[in-house]
Amino acid sequence: GPCCTVHQGVPGGHLPGTGYGASIRVGVECHWTETTSGLKRLLDMSEKMTRVVGQTVGYARVSSSDQNLARQLEALGDVDKLFTDQASGKDVDGRAQLKAMLNCVCAGDVITVKSPDRLARDTIDLLTLVRDLGERGVKVSFVDMPELSTDSPSGGFVLTIFAAVAELERRM
């Protein structure tokens, strides 16, 4: 029988012992019952599952079912992978697709979001998400406010100020 089972969407998935960690988007669970043919199948699978680094990943969120994602999706344009949530943005808990996206991206990827409040409404949450992604080599781009893009030091500075002002407005 088959010796390898492919699990798509495994956070940080990799092929053990291949050195392809960040370039593979799946995890592989191997049961070595057929050593020679199993190894050949694993190597064949690794060639098929490599991905180009630098995907554009879109994220959109609406707070309630009566809101429409269409405007955000149109603004995001053509993306390699898309994640959408229908949940409050006041905190990051309870947003399954946000968590899936965070587990999916890797160094070289760019997350595209229509505006900062679609990613997070709380300043600390937004800045923590952006910082954590930056530490992983993932950039964040905001369609409505390209000056907040995290690919420059000034973008990070302006993003911090903007997020604080947006939170203040929401609390007033």
Active site residues: 63
Alpha-carbon dihedral of residues 150, 96, 144, 167, nearest 10 degrees? -80
Question: Integer distance in angstroms from the first to the last C-alpha of the chain?
Answer: 64
Q: How many CA atoms lie within 13 A of 141 on its CB side?
A: 16
Of 8, 16, 23, nearest in space to 38 by CA: 16
